[in-house]
């Protein structure tokens, strides 16, 4: 049952009453499917271990077994399992941006932090550049919808994604080894060993190597494919638990990537015998290039596709029982370097080709005290501090379009500090009041410039400077901004029966302002964007039963000073940059259900539905005032998933599992202007697996992703004033076989 009648409190009240009626008439669900060996999902989304059914929020979670079976290897793979959550890649295979219920960050800059906070073992990832790491040896992944701040180290407006590594264990020796091979000459090998070395110390070592010798893309000018991957990952953890009152976990991990990226599919501005121009690959650009082969993974490109990353991360988690109060400390460190190339014109010409270099260092400290209120609830008090430095540059080659080269630089230091607290207070045996408050201070020091190097004869068509002219700074900003904001949450949780929950909450989240670090051709395009703020109203219900689960939530978001991409033609070149739209409203619903029919033991059917309606207020653009009514980028009205999992005994020692899940994503716009030329069409993707398990720990699986080979677009950019645009497509069909052994 579902109702969505408007954007007012009256609508939420009506839906709340319907949710209560639903629970009294039929069971409802926990928001994530449990692993096959358990009906209970234990998560730590609220900084304590609890059953997902008891969390008064919309939460999805996958455990270790599901992560391995579904080959959840990056953040984008997890997001693709969810409704009302979207991920796009600004370049093929890299630069993922997460949107939750239409709230996301429509940006690609390494200087920016995501609207959906991503945490790895409770350490916040401060830059979009850090979101591309591959997963291995995980215990769980969790996704929370809505503003987070009263429980988390760094504030967020969209939600939070928690990635939790499998921890060392004192319970005995264990290990795992796995190998896989698939099309595009893709191979991977993974290993883990857990070693208790004494009664209070355990070590866990894990590693993964990925090698793909053929890329998804083919460069006709080089007669070679692009998109090869060579990734090495490693992790060491040490657990020390000298008593029941204290434990320490030290983690050190690293990644070394020597890979390639593909390129977007070109489209042109001028007629070239094509039926419809502009916007078709058959149309030509100002230099006469077109791409008539109708293959989005085939083209002529002019940039070195290298994607090199070196990253070292470390964290130390301490937890001590002080006698009724628990002290938790999480210290994090990240050192990240990468170099990669972007052919943003998608042609064999050097029009807007860039090589980007990023160097990021991040340190953070979170300290929490938590305890109980007798038999009446629990509390958390916390403090957070982080500092991150992001230094980078674009080396731009505009030789064939503007007869010059361009240098873009940025150097940004961000300091953030916060105090936060949260209380769950039991008003009765079945009713709990939830309250939280957070105060955040953040400061950003930024220095960035765009410089025409005027290095080619006869001179630059960008600045009209003759050859031999010293470098000309065409855009510059050296500025410090700071921001303070409050976040809060008030909610009620009602448990009318065992394994059932009805909840309602109002929360406010905020995201500080910042700087756009992309290419600009006037200093005004580098002016900082302002902080954004969101107030979220949500009502939901969920319940678990032996045979089926079902749940529903409805929400309304009052969104102000929205940080989003706008097109800016105020300089010599048109660009897309981050700016602010004064207001937006979003309302929608999340509905999930799973059914385990008694007539066919071992079968589980699941479904999820996301409904969304967004509306931006009016805002100024280079083309004039855009009236209110546009939709938010990356916010489809309809999304959903369908899944089936059938497990049965094949022989005395063997078990077979057949699994499939499909995901539907509706039409969506890619910018705040709602440019129809770069809007994306709806699409379905389908994944499937057959898994054969042996009682001794052996497992072999045949798997396929995007098995229907759907051609779908994840990102589009319109640069037609320069003669071209490009579209980024999701990965084509991949398939393979995996073999593993647990011991």
Query: What percent of the chain is modeled with pLDDT above 70?
Result: 93
Cα-Cα-Cα-Cα dihedral sign, residues 663, 143, 74, 337: positive
Q: What is the pLDDT of residue 39?
A: 55
CB distance 58 to 31 below 8 Å: yes
pTM: 0.90
* Phi and psi torsions of 722, nearest 5°: -100, 0
DSSP secondary structure, 685-722, as one string: EEEEEEEEEETTSEEEEEEEESTT----EEEEEEEGGG
Average pLDDT, the chain: 89
The model's pLDDT over 39-53, given as tens digits with 9 standing for 90+, comes to 567 777 677 777 888
Q: Mean pLDDT across the stretch 644-652?
A: 93
The model's pLDDT over 90-135, given as tens digits with 9 standing for 90+, comes to 888 888 888 999 998 777 788 888 888 899 999 999 998 898 889 9
382: Cβ contacts below 8 Å, ≥ 6 apart = 151, 153, 366, 367, 368, 369, 419, 420, 421
pLDDT of residue 208 exceeding 90: yes
pLDDT band at 274 (very low <50, low <70, confident <90, very high): low
The model's pLDDT over 146-180, given as tens digits with 9 standing for 90+, comes to 888 777 767 788 888 999 999 999 999 999 999 99
Q: What is the pLDDT of residue 105?
A: 78
Q: What is the pLDDT of residue 54?
A: 82
Q: Which two tokens stand for residue 445?
A: 């020091």
Q: What is the pLDDT of residue 21?
A: 36
CA distance 561 to 579: 9
Per-range mean pLDDT, top range of 17-26, 269-278, 393-402, 623-632:
393-402
DSSP E strand stretches across 228-323: 229-243, 246-260, 265-268, 298-299, 306-321
The model's pLDDT over 552-605, given as tens digits with 9 standing for 90+, comes to 999 999 999 998 877 677 666 667 778 889 999 999 999 999 999 998 999 999
pLDDT of residue 34 exceeding 70: no
pLDDT of residue 303 exceeding 50: yes
Q: What is the pLDDT of residue 45?
A: 66
The model's pLDDT over 406-456, given as tens digits with 9 standing for 90+, comes to 999 999 999 999 999 999 999 999 999 999 999 999 999 999 999 999 989
The model's pLDDT over 463-503, given as tens digits with 9 standing for 90+, comes to 999 999 999 999 999 999 999 999 999 999 999 998 999 99
CA distance 397 to 405: 5
The full set of domains in the chain, from first to last, is 9-182+321-742 (2.40.170.20)
Q: What is the pLDDT of residue 104?
A: 85
Q: Which two tokens stand for residue 656?
A: 């077979």
The model's pLDDT over 12-24, given as tens digits with 9 standing for 90+, comes to 333 333 333 333 3
Across 146-155, 160-169, 504-513, 674-683, least confident range: 146-155
Q: What is the pLDDT of residue 29?
A: 29
CB distance 420 to 382 below 8 Å: yes
Q: What is the pLDDT of residue 248?
A: 98
Q: Mean pLDDT across the stretch 345-358?
A: 94
């Amino acid at each position: 049952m579902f109702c969505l009648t408007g954007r007012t409190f009256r609508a939420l009240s009506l839906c709340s009453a319907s949710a209560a009626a639903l629970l009294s008439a039929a069971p409802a669900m926990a928001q994530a499917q449990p692993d096959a060996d358990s009906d209970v999902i234990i998560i730590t989304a609220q900084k304590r271990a609890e059953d997902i059914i008891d969390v008064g929020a919309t939460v999805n979670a996958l455990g270790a077994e599901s992560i391995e079976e579904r080959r959840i290897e990056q953040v984008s793979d997890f997001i693709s399992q969810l409704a009302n959550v979207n991920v796009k890649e600004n370049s093929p295979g890299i630069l993922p941006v997460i949107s939750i219920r239409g709230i996301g960050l429509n940006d690609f800059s390494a200087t920016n932090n995501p609207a959906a906070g991503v945490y790895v073992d409770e350490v916040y990832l401060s830059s979009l550049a850090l979101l591309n790491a591959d997963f291995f040896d995980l215990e769980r992944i969790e996704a929370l919808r809505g503003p987070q701040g009263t429980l988390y180290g760094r504030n967020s407006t969209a939600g939070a994604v928690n990635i939790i590594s499998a921890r060392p264990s004192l319970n005995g020796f264990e290990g795992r080894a796995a190998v896989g091979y698939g099309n595009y000459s893709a191979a991977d090998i993974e290993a883990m060993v857990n070693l208790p070395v004494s009664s209070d110390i355990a070590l866990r070592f894990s590693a993964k190597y990925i090698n793909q010798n053929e890329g998804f893309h083919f460069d006709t000018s080089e007669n070679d494919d692009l998109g090869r991957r060579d990734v090495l990952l490693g992790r060491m953890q040490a657990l020390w638990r000298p008593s029941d009152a204290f434990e320490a976990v030290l983690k050190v991990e690293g990644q070394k990537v020597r890979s390639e990226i593909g390129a977007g599919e070109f489209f042109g501005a001028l007629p070239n015998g094509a039926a419809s121009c502009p916007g078709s690959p058959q149309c030509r650009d100002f230099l006469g290039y077109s791409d008539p082969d109708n293959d989005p993974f085939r083209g002529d490109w002019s940039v070195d596709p290298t994607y090199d990353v070196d990253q070292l991360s470390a964290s130390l988690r301490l937890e001590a029982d002080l006698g009724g109060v628990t002290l938790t400390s999480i210290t994090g460190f990240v050192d990240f370097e990468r170099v990669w190339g972007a052919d943003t014109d998608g042609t064999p010409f050097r029009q807007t080709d860039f090589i980007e270099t990023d160097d990021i260092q991040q340190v953070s400290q979170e300290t929490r005290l938590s305890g109980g209120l007798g038999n009446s609830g629990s509390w958390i008090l916390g403090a957070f501090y982080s500092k991150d430095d992001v230094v980078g540059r674009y080396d731009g080659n505009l030789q064939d379009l503007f007869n010059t080269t361009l240098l873009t630089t940025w150097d940004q230091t961000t300091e953030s500090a916060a105090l936060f607290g949260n209380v769950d207070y039991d008003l009765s045996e079945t009713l709990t009041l939830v309250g939280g408050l957070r105060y955040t201070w953040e400061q950003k020091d930024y220095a960035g410039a765009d410089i025409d190097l005027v290095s080619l004869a006869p001179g630059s068509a960008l600045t009209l400077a003759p050859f031999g002219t010293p470098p000309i700074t065409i855009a510059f900003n050296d500025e410090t901004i700071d921001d303070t904001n409050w976040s809060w949450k008030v909610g009620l949780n009602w448990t009318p029966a065992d394994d059932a929950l009805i909840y309602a909450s109002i929360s406010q989240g905020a995201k500080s302002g910042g700087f756009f670090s992309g290419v600009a051709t006037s200093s005004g395009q580098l002016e900082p964007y302002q902080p954004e703020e969101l107030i979220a109203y949500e009502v939901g219900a969920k319940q678990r039963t032996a045979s089926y689960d079902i749940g529903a939530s409805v929400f309304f978001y009052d969104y102000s000073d929205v940080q989003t991409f706008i097109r800016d033609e105020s300089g010599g070149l048109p660009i897309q940059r981050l700016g602010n739209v004064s207001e937006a409203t979003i309302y929608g619903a999340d509905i999930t259900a799973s059914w385990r029919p008694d007539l066919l033991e071992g079968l589980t059917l699941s479904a999820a539905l996301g409904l969304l309606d967004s509306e931006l207020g009016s805002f100024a653009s280079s083309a004039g005032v855009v009236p209110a009514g546009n939709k938010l980028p990356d916010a489809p009205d309809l999304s959903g998933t369908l899944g089936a999992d059938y497990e049965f005994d094949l022989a005395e020692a063997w078990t077979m599992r057949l699994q499939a899940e499909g995901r539907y994503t509706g039409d969506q716009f890619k910018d705040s202007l709602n440019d129809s030329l770069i809007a994306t069409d709806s699409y379905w993707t389908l994944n499937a697996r057959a898994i054969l398990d042996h009682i001794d720990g052996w497992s072999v699986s045949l798997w396929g992703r995007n098995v229907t080979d759907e051609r779908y677009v994840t990102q589009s950019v319109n640069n037609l004033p320069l003669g071209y645009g490009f579209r980024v497509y999701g990965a084509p069909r991949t398939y393979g076989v995996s073999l593993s052994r647990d011991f």
